[in-house]
Structure formats: structure tokens, C-alpha cells
Chain A
Amino acid sequence: MIIAEGKPIKDILAMIDDYDKIIVAGCKGCVTVCSAGGQKEVEILSSALRLARQTQGRPLQIKEVTLERQCDTEYLEPMREYADQYQAILSLACGAGIQFVAEKFRKQPVLPGVNTQFIGVTEEQGVWTERCQSCGNCLLHQTGGICPVTRCSKSLFNGPCGGSKAGKCEIDPQVDCGWQLIYERLKELGLLAKLEIVLPIKDWSTSRDGGPRKCIREDLKI
């Protein structure tokens, strides 16, 4: 899923400083699972914002809403009924959701309430880690199911570099060396021979480097 983290309240207060009537819009997708922008976070954030503005003597009126998803048009529509009564929309969805709201609701600014971080997994309660950079051309079959683009700090295709020490990366002793993980996994599988082959130079055109991406499925189009 997409992992996000709430922005610091002081940043949000600065963003909404010009407004006294806003919508705080959560999303029931990824940001609910990673506890950054679901219904609970909408409630907590709204209370905190109201309280902060109350103490400033400039009360803030908030409409709290948590949409099914913010990355699909149909789930945004219900907001049309009341959106125009508000000066701004503070979205707690991921960057895609925030932008989609901004595209669909043209009359008021749409503001980010979270920082979208990465595509990752829940490693344990309260700990999420990155797994995929969505490069558009998966090579996990060659690297034991561990992505060197994501897990190696230098995205090397033929690692590990000289900075790998005791299984850790040179950038931080808390960070696993991605290539050590690949090595161990392939060793476990009896596939170390794969590491003797030089992985070729990557075609980055399927990644963001090729420009904004689009996925079209003719079989699904109406």
C-alpha cells in the first residue's frame, strides 16, 4: 500500500491560516490502514485544529468527512453537495488522492494534510518500510524477490558496493544492505549462480524518467 504520514500541525495551521471554514477529508484506502488519513485521524486532526484556532480567538469551522477513496471519481461526487460552502479542502489522502480532489473541485484550494512517503508494507505494528519504487519493469525474479532499486541505497543492479558491512548499509547501521538480503535469499534458494551474471543497464523510460505515466487497458474501457 501507499504509506503516508501526517504533516506537523503547525504546518497545517499555517496552510489554513487564511480560512475559517474548511473540509477535512479523509480516505478509507491506504491512509486508513497506515493510520495517517482515515476517519480517526480526521477526527483527531480536526479537534486539534479547532482547539488551536479557538485559542487564537479565530474559530475554525470544519466539515469532517471520510470518503471511500479519493482516487476514484465516483467516491468524490458526494462532496459536491456541500463543497462550495467551504473555503478550502484539506485532504488526508495520498498525493494521488489530493491531486484528484484538486482536479475535480475547481472552486477552492485543496491542501495536503499528509506527506506521502512510499509504497511499502507493515513490518510490525507502527512500523512501515518501503518495498517498491514503481519503476515499471519488475526484475524481482532475478533478485530473489528483493528489489535492488528500492532496497539498495544506490539502486545498484550489481551490488553490493564496498560500503556493505555486517549486513548493513553504509548510510546507516540501522539500514539493511539490500544486496546482502538478495545474496542471502539466493543462497537459501540455491540460486547464487544468478549473481554471477551482470545485470544489464536499466531502461528507465518505464519509470518516472519517461514522463508522467499512463496505463490504458482497452479490454476494460467503456
Chain B
Amino acid sequence: MKAGSNLEKVLTSGKFAVTGELGPPKGADVSVIERKANLLKGNVDAVNVTDNQTAIVRMSSIAVGAILQRMGIEATMQMVCRDRNRIAMQSDIFGAYALGLRNILCLSGDHQKFGNQPTAKNVFDLDSIQLIQTVKLMRDEHKVLGGDEIEGAPAMFIGAAENPFADPFEYRVIRLAKKVAAGVDFIQTQCIYDMAKFERFMQMVCDRGLHEKVHILAGVTPLKSVGMARYMKEKVAGMEVPEEIIARMKSAGKEKAREEGLNICAEQIQRLRQIEGVHGIHLMAIEWEDAVHGIVERAGLLPRPEVN
């Protein structure tokens, strides 16, 4: 065991993992976190806590992660390279570990142009792959960048994201291989709607033998409405939603749209489970946390395993 987190235990025992996601509040209100967290508890193996996603100021991912840990829910802290230099990042990783966090997801971060602080200065001292290397150095070699020994290594289970739908398509697998070479333990993908394209991606992953070196969790997001499907297709960077999905959401009509969204999601999970190299799903029910229990149950993934 590298970190001994629940997520690591589930994945290394060969069980099909389920992770969830929680977006911190745009303020200091803890009750929002507790409400969302209770909807996820028992339905997932770990919960990603986003780090100022889309560059909108929110409560810190480490603080929210610590609150989840206190509630008995395992957190995966997301850390983006946009806002902190290597000094702050390494310091925050020590602090996060001290607060009980055991999983970290290393990300570049959305450009601040999208958020509510578009006039900010960005950092990007490290990129996401270099952040993976840094966390691994701290964990395995007990050193910070530059070589100084550290007092107490932060044993983190190291994750990263991959968007199989970004371009250039044929380079995505090479970039994934770079993340593996940098020392990543698990990958969570961007939400997948175009199953055929994702299957092609996973074939390339398996051809390179990467599926044996890293745990890949396929991203899924249930659709609430045809409007959301169109928004994802047109507005979200690096997202592909096939026409067939949009047509299904449209023909469901307003009243049954959510039900159809859940059906599509459950079908996607079934199909994803058949793909070689997919070791779990990352379920991002954005502002729809009460759907998580139903989706995981429908997919036959309850109860979540207890691995010691």
C-alpha cells in the first residue's frame, strides 16, 4: 500500500470502484457541505472535492476534504496548478495529509478567464504532470523539490485526470503514458457520453499496456435535461455529446427528462464495466447529489465493499 486510503484498497483488491464529487460552497457555509456529503455517504468509495473549479472562488478543497474525513467520508482533494506555486503546493500537501487526507488529484486547472476573477494573475509554476512527480517525490523519497529531507512523508494516493475527448485525440494516450511515467496511481476521466470514442481510447490504452500500470475510473455525469446536454456539448471545453443522447433527452419531454438521464447513466455504467482496463467509475452528479444513490443502486454497485 502506498497510502492505505480506502480508494487504494478498493482498487488494489480488484473491486470495481465508485467515486463521487462534491463542489464546495461559494462561501463559508458548512451546512451545504454536510447536506451534499450525507447524500454521497455509503454510495461511493471516495469523494473528490473540487479546487475552485471553473476558476470560481469557493471554499478550499483541503478544508472541505478535512470536513468530509471528520464525517467519516473519504475525500480526494483536487489540487490545481493555476493558483499556487511549488512552495504553497508542497506546504498544502503536508497540511492536507496532517488533516487526514490520503488521496490527491493533480490538475492543471481551468483558466481564470472562465471564472469570477478574470483579472487575476495565474501561476502554473508546475504543470499537472510535474505535480504528480512532486507528490511522488514527497511520498516515496521523503524529499521536497530541491532535495531537502522532510519530517514525515505525506503518503498520498496520487490521481490525475484525463480527457479522452480533447485534441489531438491520438496524443491523449501518449500524454496518459507520461502521467503514468510521472508516477500516477489512478486516473479519473472527463465525463463520457461518446462511448464508441471512449472505447477506441481505451483500446489504445490497453495496446500500450497502460491499463496494467494505472487504475482508470471512467467519468459519468447524469443529464438533467436536454438543455444541459446541449450546454455540455457546446459550452464545456473538451466535451462531446453525441446527437443520439440529445435526441433521447429531447424525446423524453420535460417531465421525464431526469428519469431518462438516469436511465442513460445506468446504461453507460453497464457498458463501461465491460471495457477492458476500466477499474471503476467517477460519478459527477453536478448539483444533483440526491441522484447518486439511485444511480449506484441501479448499476448494481451497492453496497460498497469494505476492504481492510
Contacts and interface: CB of A to CB of B under 8 A. Distances in A.
A154 B127 contact: yes
A196 interface: yes
A140 B113 CA distance: 27
Contact of A165 (B162, B175, B237): B237
Contact of B124 (A156, A162, A171): A156
Contacts of B133: 198, 201
A71 to B, nearest CB: 27
B130 interface: yes
B182 A163 contact: no
Nearest to A177: B167
Contacts of A159: 127
A136 to B, nearest CB: 15
A219 B167 CA distance: 48
A164 B238 contact: yes
Determine chain A's interface SS by DSSP, over half rule.
loop
* Chain A residues touching B, range: 20 to 34
B145 A201 contact: yes
Interface in A150-166: 153-166
Contacts of A78: none
Contacts of A183: 168, 171
B81 interface: yes
A162 B106 CA distance: 13
B127 A156 contact: yes
Interface string B117-148: 00000101111111001100000000001000
B43 interface: no
A149 B181 CA distance: 23
Contacts of A167: 167
A198 B177 CA distance: 10
A156 B125 contact: no
Contacts of A158: 127-130, 175, 178
A75 interface: no
B279 interface: no
A163 B168 contact: no
Interface in B60-81: 81
Interface string A152-196: 011111111111111100111000010010011000000010011
Contact of A154 (B114, B124, B145, B168): B124
18 contacts: A154-B124, A156-B108, A158-B178, A162-B108, A163-B237, A164-B168, A165-B237, A170-B114, A170-B237, A170-B238, A171-B114, A195-B174, A196-B174, A198-B129, A200-B130, A201-B130, A201-B133, A201-B145
Interface of B: 81-82, 86, 108-111, 113-114, 122, 124-130, 133-134, 145, 161-163, 166-168, 171, 174-175, 177-178, 181-182, 190, 237-238
Given A166-B167, A192-B174, A201-B86, 18 more contacts: A154-B127, A156-B124, A158-B130, A160-B166, A160-B171, A161-B166, A162-B163, A162-B166, A163-B110, A163-B111, A165-B237, A165-B238, A170-B110, A172-B113, A180-B167, A180-B168, A195-B171, A201-B145
Interface of A: 153-167, 170-172, 177, 180, 183-184, 192, 195-198, 200-201, 204
Top 10 A-B pairs ranked by shortest CB distance?
A162-B163, A170-B237, A163-B237, A158-B129, A156-B127, A161-B108, A162-B166, A162-B238, A201-B130, A171-B113
